[in-house]
Structure 1
Amino acid sequence: MPDPSPRPHLFVDISAHGLGHLAQVAPVLNALACRLENLRMTLRSALPTAMLQARIEAEFTHLAASSDFGYVMHDAMRVDLEASARAYCAQHADWDLRVAHEARLLAGLAPDLLLSDVAYLPLAGAARAGIPAVAMCSLNWAGLFAHFFAAEHWAGEIHRQMLSAYNSAACFLRLTPAMAMPELSGKRDIGPVAALGEDCRQSIRARLRCADDERLVLIAFGGVSKQLPLAAWPRVARVRWLVPQAWQLAHPCASDFEPLGRSFTDLMRSVDAVIAKPGYGTFAEAACNGTPVLYVRRHDWPEQHCLIDWLERHGQCREISEAELLAGQLEAALEALWQQPVPPNPLPVGAAESAAILLPWLRRAGRPLAAACPASAPDDHEGALPAAR
């Protein structure tokens, strides 16, 4: 006899363009798993399984593949526009065949719902296969594509196909903070999504044998390579840099953070500051965990403006130039950062809000409720629900 209570099946596509997409999705999946104990999850991502497991608490099946590339990067700060243009032209040269292949794959897996952050190919495939789909992110690739390539003669049809895929979704969960995305229909505004870490600063400091007045500064550029010439930096009094182990840096004022055995979010909550580029995962987690941020603007990355504006209202942050970063001229900026007023931490309410929107599809075994993604006026999630620090 067939199982009278089949497990609801969620297919999740997570972009591997940096780590911010995983930082957005993981809290939502964790909230869903708490409310649906029998939830079955299939995750497709080019991120390593161990990296997914570090943030996603429930069990899942991992399809180690990628359905998008986002943008080809020179490094964490610069887009390779020529390589990105070639990659988009190649992806869309046989677009209909790609969508058909995606539809067959999804039909074979037969999920009750597809969630994408923020590839558009799975949305197009789900639409062709008749599978409900929802997108979620602080940006979309069609908006960035228009920013970079709208003036190119070859770009019009590609942009149309991208928008058609995004607008085929039942709705687009637009996280706070986010780009405006006027090009998309069906947007639903959601509060900030961020994991909250455990404050383990005392154990970290003890393990590193920090002096009483020594401060810890985490250097994190979101999973896209950017090694800094820290060995040539001038000494900053009473500061210990926490750096990626891959840098293989032997320096008396630096320590690798991976051997500390703590999650990135625990580290974020436990340090005195983080140095980063503007990215959703880092900025949202820094604000919600009460961590000051020194940031370096990215080169012509349109999403960064809304992220910086939001962090300036809801966190402690200060801009430094790339020249200051490369030269290690950071002491004055750090001191000024630590002198800023301390605002209340915004609450990361977006995970619970997103889970509540997705649940009807998963509770009804592929028969979505008509009101699961109602049209609504934009909600004000600009930190209206502060938490005490």
Structure 2
Amino acid sequence: MNITVYISGHGFGHLAQMAPVMKHLREQQPDCRFLVRCALDRHEIGARLGFDVELEQSPVDVGVVQKNAIEEDREASIIGIRTWLDSVDDQIKREIDLLASFRTDLVISDISPLAFPAARALGVPGVGLATLDWFTIYAHWLAADDAVLEKLTHAYSQCDLLLTPPMAMDMPVFPVRRQIPLIAAYPSGKTCPPEKKRSKTALVIFGGSNQPAFDVQALAAMDDWQFLMPLAPTDAPDNVTSVSFGRDLKAVDLMPFVDVVVCKPGYGILAECWATATPIAWVERPDFPEYPMLKGWLQNGFPSCGMNRSDFSRSLWLPALEGALACRRQFPQISADGAQVAATEILACLNG
């Protein structure tokens, strides 16, 4: 069985959703071969999957232009999506040729609009897996009759089935939608605890976008806290420890050993916090249309506390850190493994 998987390169959240599903597909169908269409780095994809795939490494969507992990560039994003969609018909033709060459039996997308028209043209199932899509994002920024939305509607309406985990936006442009349980990565259980230098530990992680600027030296004032962060500067205070993520160490592997995660609201990191019951100190992201929905989850369902971007940039994090620790809310129960459910649903589409 040959499965082609489209993964948006907009941050790491789409890969975080898709990787566990691909693992379960491989378990349920050991003879399957994967062709992955994604612009992300091969090493990042390999670290998430833990097995080798064929990779066609080029963009499959535009997503949103990020100034940094918590600030979007709306004007540049709109220019980018218009330019990209100008050649969408030619791009779909290339995808059809690629899928035919691979002898694709099934297409899965999170959430490239190229995938579904190409699958439909070849008469193979096209399944979506997502908590957001680019029609729903850009519908917040554009007039209802904008050509961008018309083209995205045409592409997404050819999806045979959209699977949506929790923390998903409403995506009415897809004709058939089905809710599934949470999809998340879990700790490997092979990680040694980091050296404990303070009474409390926070993991600072901002995913696949540029880390927003903050005053790293000011973290020294929170002397009870140890901060673990990727690529910490060499002149960071003593209570800051640099960590390096890859195939053998992922952020979720450290979560059982920390008290709080400092992050932006995004599906991948929030799902991993939920899976490991790790409190969250989160930074507002008011420009992104997904944010109000995620903020609702954070304020109503998760042990968490937020901070504004000004306090974050000045490293005035203590109220959010202590607030997350003191929060009495508990994560909802996880009813089942959403990745396993998704894999079963996807294979059922193939079997008719």
Q: Quick one: distance in 2 between partners of 1:85 and 1:313?
A: 32
Aligned residue pairs total: 349
Contact 1:33/1:58 (<8 A) preserved = no
- Structure 1 residue 204 corresponds to structure 2 residue 197: no
Return the offset for 1:246.
6.2
1:224 is paired with a residue of what secondary structure?
Answer: coil
| Stretches (4+) displaced over 4 A | 198-201, 246-249
Residues 318, 108 of structure 1: CA spacing in aligned structure 2 closer, same or farther, 3 A cutoff?
same
Contact 2:62/2:81 (<8 A) preserved = no
- Structure 1 residue 175 corresponds to structure 2 residue 169: no
Match of 1:80 in 2: 73
Pairing 1:210-289 to 2, within 5 Å after superposition: 210-211=196-197, 214-226=199-211, 227-245=213-231, 247-258=233-244, 262-289=249-276
- C-alpha offsets along residues 121-177 of structure 1, whole Å, 9 cap, x if unaligned? 1222222232321111100101111111226xxx62221111121110111111211
Q: Quick one: distance in 1 between partners of 2:234 and 2:146?
A: 45
2:34 is paired with a residue of what secondary structure?
Answer: strand
1:327 to 296, 300, 314: 314
Match of 1:309 in 2: 296
- C-alpha offsets along residues 298-337 of structure 1, whole Å, 9 cap, x if unaligned? 1321212222322444431111111111111122322222
TM-score by length of 2: 0.92
Q: Quick one: distance in 2 between partners of 1:198 and 1:313?
A: 29
Residues 215, 233 of structure 1: CA spacing in aligned structure 2 closer, same or farther, 3 A cutoff?
closer
Contact 2:131/2:167 (<8 A) preserved = yes
Residues 320, 344 of structure 1: CA spacing in aligned structure 2 closer, same or farther, 3 A cutoff?
closer
- C-alpha offsets along residues 335-387 of structure 1, whole Å, 9 cap, x if unaligned? 222122262563262111101111235xxxxxx334xxxxxxxxxxxxxxxxx
Return the offset for 1:251.
2.2
Q: Quick one: distance in 1 between partners of 2:54 and 2:232?
A: 28
Q: Quick one: distance in 2 between partners of 1:108 and 1:16?
A: 23
What is the Cα-based RMSD across aligned positions, in Å?
A: 2.1
Contact 1:198/1:269 (<8 A) preserved = no
Contact 1:287/1:346 (<8 A) preserved = no
Q: Quick one: distance in 1 between partners of 2:66 and 2:307?
A: 21
2:278 is paired with a residue of what secondary structure?
Answer: coil
1:148 is paired with a residue of what secondary structure?
Answer: coil
Q: Quick one: distance in 2 between partners of 1:158 and 1:47?
A: 24
Return the offset for 1:26.
0.8
Mark the runs of 5 or more structure 2 residues left unpaired by the alignment. Answer: none
Pairing 1:1-389 to 2, within 5 Å after superposition: 8-150=1-143, 156-198=146-188, 203-205=192-194, 208=195, 210-211=196-197, 214-226=199-211, 227-245=213-231, 247-258=233-244, 262-341=249-328, 343=330, 346-347=333-334, 349-361=337-349, 368-370=350-352
Q: Quick one: distance in 2 between partners of 1:178 and 1:327?
A: 31
Return the offset for 1:79.
1.8
Q: Quick one: distance in 1 between partners of 2:43 and 2:224?
A: 34
Q: Quick one: distance in 1 between partners of 2:138 and 2:324?
A: 34
1:74 is paired with a residue of what secondary structure?
Answer: strand
Q: Quick one: distance in 1 between partners of 2:206 and 2:235?
A: 16
Which of the two has higher C-alpha Rg?
A: 1
TM-score by length of 1: 0.84
Q: Quick one: distance in 2 between partners of 1:158 and 1:262?
A: 40
Contact 1:199/1:270 (<8 A) preserved = no
1:147 is paired with a residue of what secondary structure?
Answer: coil
Q: Percent identity?
A: 28
Q: Quick one: distance in 1 between partners of 2:217 and 2:143?
A: 42
